[in-house]
Structure 1
Amino acid sequence: MGLNYDIIALDVDGTLLTDAHVLMTETRDAVREAAHLGAEIVLCTGRGPMNTIPVLEELGLSGTIITHNGAATIDAESRKVLHQYEINIAELERFMMFCREGRHHFDVNTAFELLVEGQLSTEVAAMYSGYKITPILRDISLPLPADLVKFTVFGEKEAMDSVEMAWNGWTHGLQHIRSGDFFIDVQHPEASKGDALKQLAMLRGVNPSRVMAIGNYFNDVGMLTFAGLGVAVANSPDGVKAAAKELTLSNEENGVAHALRSYAW
């Protein structure tokens, strides 16, 4: 059986996993089959490595993972940072003040740590628990770590729509990107899943035509358009579907497995 792609990049939440963050057996088996046939499976996610590596392990795989929307590329086995884009802290202060004044929950992330200010509400604590994240409570009087790679604001969709609209009117030296209905990420302007995947393909000597990517949200568009075959799951917004070359079933219907068996071999 011939394999059509050398690198297969998979978004995690809303794509590889169900909405309850479960890896279904059919999807797991299809991903393992692709790896067995010789594809390099690269999880390409907005998550940090600490809650991405367990997903990779559940797949029975190891290797390179692209985390924090491309801001940190990690070797999962050694847990070493291969490359990261760090945020300008001075630029970030404006976003932090906006969130404090508007009472929007936010966190700041180094490659391996997620830090929050103050006490967590029940809703926020449940969100972190669902993503299997253990936040570190940060003393607001202390300076921020110098090696931040991502700032994330979390809230109801309507609140995030309002925040996004406000930030769209700002001029600043960072980028903000909607990574889900309830999340907006702020990062280095050059950090993206698409750019990180392009760098990895060049390092491996793999032509983009031999790269397949599957995703579901706006932070996936870069990798969907870079890949020779970009596939959007059925639960993607219309703008993401428009950026993909093919569509597959939803994340609740083993969409990744369906796409791999339809196109990868």
Structure 2
Amino acid sequence: MTIKLIAIDVDDTLLSSKQELLDSTIEVIQQALTKSIKVVLCTGRPLAGVTHFLAQLGIEGSNQYVITFNGAVIETVTGEVVAKHLLDNATYRALTAFAEKKGIPFNVLDEHSSIYTASHDVNWITVVQAYENLAGIYVRTPDEQSADFSIAKGLFIGEAEQLDLVENEVRSTFSPDFYVVRSGRNFLEVLNQHVNKGQALKDLAAKLGLESAEVMAIGDEQNDIPMFDFAGIAIAMGNGSELAKDHATYITSTNDADGIAEAVRKFVLTD
């Protein structure tokens, strides 16, 4: 069946190790767009963190979509929200209390991409996170937020070894009431239990009247596996994790070696 939607992870997939788009990536995506194929960025970032790349790729207009916050929000590239599944203040309290007890750096993102942390000692990874997503950082305890304050996701952050030590305990404490996923070496995320990239991609495909066989997904990490499991064709990057590769139907080259271009030419731009 012909591919009509390409879902692409951003960090370490769409972007090179220098956090840039390769010319070959821009070329094949623009070719796909000219064939009326939807190209949907599926990312843990907020919309503000991918707007620059959308512009470079030529993905624009109210009929183009992006999946943000690892599936917590589906929206048009112009910012019109199609669906969202957020977490409440009580969850923010519970996650913050756990982080403080375990001494793990922690922050949350609201649906507008602002970053909040209860710690005055802001971790350097949070600073990088804010820079990449064009986000402000606010030091606020849960008590300083309104009762109806909601978040898109919570993030335990830190060096990979630090997160390795607490990952199982985070999972046992918050699963299955929440979706817990290691989205990268430095990020362990907690989201609404109904949220993941695969569910969001399934919901968007249904809205567009597409079957899973008409969808191709490209990614590199654990948080991409749910969309691999939904899509008719699942592409793992050569630089991806072994777990992601185990769920893929094809392993392409790395993000620094035309991996996106290789996959799109092989499975989409075949004529």
TM-score, normalization: structure 2?
0.90
Of 191, 197, 204, the residue aligned with 2:195 is: 191
Aligned to 1:253: 257
Unaligned ranges ≥5, structure 2: none
Note the C-alpha offset of 1:165.
Answer: 1.8
Q: 1:123 to 1:115 in 2, by over 3 A?
A: closer
Q: Specify which of 146, 150, 153 is matched with residue 147 of structure 1.
A: 150
Aligned to 1:96: 96
2:116 is matched with 116
Corresponding residue for residue 74 of structure 1: 75
Contiguous gaps of at least 5 residues in structure 1: none
Deviations 1:61-91 (A, max 9, x none): 12210000110011112x1221100114323
Aligned counterpart, 2:247 = 243
Q: How far, CA to CA, are the matches of 1:175 and 1:223 in structure 2?
A: 14
Deviation at 1:123, TM superposition (A): 5.1
Q: Distance in 1 between matches of 2:149 and 2:166?
A: 25
Superposed displacement of residue 139, structure 1:
2.9
Deviation of 1:121 after TM superposition, in Å, equals: 4.3
In structure 2, the residue corresponding to 1:93 is in which secondary structure?
helix
Q: AA paired with 1:158? A: E
Corresponding residue SS for 2:173: coil
- Residue 27 of structure 1 contacts residue 254 of structure 1 at CA under 8 Å; is this kept in 2? yes
Question: Once the 2 structures are TM-superposed, how far is the Cα of residue 153 of structure 1 from its aligned partner?
Answer: 1.7
| 3-state SS, counterpart of residue 73 of structure 1 | strand
| Cα distance in structure 2, aligned partners of 1:17 and 1:143 | 35
The answer as to whether partners of 1:109 and 1:149 remain within 8 angstroms in 2 is yes
In structure 1, what is the Cα distance between the partners aligned to 2:58 and 2:139? Answer: 34
**Offset of residue 119 of structure 1:** 4.8
Aligned mates of 1:85, 1:128 — CA distance in 2? 22
Does residue 87 of structure 2 align to residue 84 of structure 1? no
**Superposition pairs of residues 55-66 of structure 1, within 5 angstroms:** 55-62=53-60, 63-66=64-67
1:51 to 2:53 alignment? no
Residue 146 and residue 99 in structure 1: after superposition, are their counterparts in 2 closer, same or farther (change >3 A)? Answer: same
Partner residue in 1 for 2:214: 210
Q: Take 2:110 and 2:80, find their aligned partners in 1: how far apart are those partners?
A: 13
Identity %: 28
Segment drifting more, 115-124 vs 198-207: 115-124
Q: CA RMSD in A?
A: 1.8
Decide whether aligned partners of structure 1 residues 122 and 195 sit closer, same or farther in structure 2, where only a CA change above 3 A counts. closer
Contact 1:87-1:174 within 8 A present in 2 as well: no
2:156 matches 1:158: no
Residue matched to 1:128:
130
